[in-house]
């Protein structure tokens, strides 16, 4: 959950989000070093009148500033590709959930159960209880077991939507006529909030997502009470 005036990313609650945060820090450090070097060179050029002719014409310098950017790009590309393949990898999911986007609410269907599906609407401000978050609470939360790989199938009934939960590193477009899939896995129990991240009409701002990760025993009890 983000807090006011937060500058960084939300705390990671899944292995994928931890990898994304490490990659963010890795890339940011490279950008910082390049920016510092460029600023240092510009400062030297503006503050000194001396010119080293051998340096200006040296073949070695041209070789370095051609090869070095290529090396830096490889240092960024390899970790990025690794994370992309990790995000697409789905190994023996314990559960499959189908998410459908509508204007302007979400519907969830647990395909491993015969009759377990529901719609999730934003809770109106007038119905909020003490401690609940405005524009982020829903009437029916999606409940999932923690520490298990879960396959999420995402599509839409009308226009483009995007199902996103930042603290779990999840963001998948919901496209009419197409199924997109992703893997959900959480290291710890808790409530994780998200919103539709694709402009989908006048009430786009009112499509919150609340994901409740619980121990497996609690999830089984909840599924029995819903069916």
Encode pLDDT of 106-133 as tens digits: 999 999 998 899 999 999 988 898 988 9
DSSP 8-state secondary structure symbol assigned to residue 77: H
Please spell the DSSP secondary structure of 131-168, one letter per residue.
TPPTTT-BSS-EEEETTS-EEEEEEESSS-EEEEEGGG
Same domain, residue pair 52 and 82 = yes
- For residue 56, the model assigns a pLDDT of 60
On the question of pLDDT at 21 being above 90, the answer is yes
Residue 110: enclosing H or E segment and its boundaries? strand 105-110
- Final residue in a domain of this structure, among 42, 61, 88: 88
Same domain, residue pair 112 and 205 = yes
Segment 69-91 shows an average pLDDT of 91
Same domain, residue pair 107 and 19 = no
- Final residue in a domain of this structure, among 38, 53, 88: 88
Rounded to a whole number of angstroms, the distance between the first and last alpha carbons of the chain is: 30
Q: How confident is the model at residue 91 (pLDDT cuts 50, 70, 90)?
A: confident
Domain extent at residue 28: 15-88
On the question of pLDDT at 196 being above 70, the answer is yes
Q: How confident is the model at residue 55 (pLDDT cuts 50, 70, 90)?
A: low
Same domain, residue pair 25 and 120 = no
CATH number of the domain where residue 120 is located: 2.60.40.420
On the question of pLDDT at 65 being above 90, the answer is no
């Amino acid at each position: 959950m983000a807090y006011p005036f937060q500058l960084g990313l939300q705390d990671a609650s899944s292995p994928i989000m931890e990898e994304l945060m490490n990659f963010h820090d890795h890339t940011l450090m490279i950008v910082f070093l390049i920016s510092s070097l460029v600023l240092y060179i510009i400062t030297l050029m503006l503050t000194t009148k001396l010119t080293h002719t051998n340096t200006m014409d040296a073949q070695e310098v041209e070789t370095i500033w051609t090869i070095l950017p290529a090396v830096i790009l490889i240092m960024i590309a390899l970790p990025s590709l690794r994370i992309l393949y990790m995000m697409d990898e789905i190994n023996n999911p314990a559960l499959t959930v189908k998410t459908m986007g509508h204007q302007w609410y979400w519907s969830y269907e647990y395909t491993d159960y015969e009759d377990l599906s529901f719609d999730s609407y934003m809770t109106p401000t007038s119905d909020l209880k003490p401690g609940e978050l405005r524009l982020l609470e829903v009437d029916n939360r999606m409940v999932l077991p923690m520490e298990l790989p879960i396959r999420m199938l995402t599509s839409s009934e009308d226009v483009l939507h995007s199902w996103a939960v930042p603290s779990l590193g999840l963001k998948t477009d919901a496209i009419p006529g197409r199924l997109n899939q992703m893997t959900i896995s959480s290291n710890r129990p808790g409530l994780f909030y998200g919103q539709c991240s694709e402009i989908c009409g006048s009430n786009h701002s009112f499509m919150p997502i609340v994901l409740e990760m619980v121990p497996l025993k609690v999830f089984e009890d909840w599924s029995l009470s819903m069916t």
